[in-house]
Amino acid sequence: MREIKVRGLVIEPLAHGGKWITGNDEYHDIYMNHADKLAYIQEHPVHYESISEYTGLDTDNDEEIFRKDLLEITDNQGNKVVIEVVFEDGCYYGDLVKSEVVNPTFTIVQYAFGEYEHVNYTVVDESEPLFIIQQFMEFDNLKIIGNTVEHPELLEGVTS
């Protein structure tokens, strides 16, 4: 079972100058009032819209991946994509934001039923369907480049 953890952008900077704070539901660090759109993590007020939940996945550099993060992924063909981590239908997905297609086949090494298999996706344009985040975790070239809260400019020109 994954750890239930959230992060939020604090309204007032923290003593050490940090802008983000995380809390763990196990220790009752999180308070959210959906009606009034108020949120507190470890008793610090945070921007309600910035609340995002930990996916349970980390990058190779041990960076925790949260909903609303923007990930840049380069596959073994030289294709580069930027995805937004979203939660839909009970799963975390990567919603394709941008792509630089060198080779139109986007290869994913997927682990299923005790075996690795190569799954080929054709990257045609930015209207491609959602990709499951777990499938991307096999890549060495996966990095967090920002999030939709602090870096909305990375989503410019994207239509949902």
C-beta of residue 51 within 8 angstroms of C-beta of residue 129:
no
List pLDDT tens digits, range 59-95: 878 899 999 999 888 766 677 788 888 887 777 777 8
What's the pTM value of the predicted model, to 2 decimals? 0.73
* E-only strand ranges, the chain: 5-9, 20-24, 30-33, 38-41, 44-45, 52-58, 64-66, 69-74, 80-88, 91-100, 105-112, 115-122, 131-132, 142-147
List pLDDT tens digits, range 20-31: 999 987 777 889
Distance CA 52, CA 55 (A): 9
The pLDDT > 90 percentage for the chain reads 25
Tell whether the model's pLDDT for residue 147 goes beyond 60.
Answer: yes
Domain ranges of the chain: 5-50, 65-155
Distance CA 106, CA 50 (A): 31
Nearest CA among 29, 38, 35, 34 for reference residue 7:
29
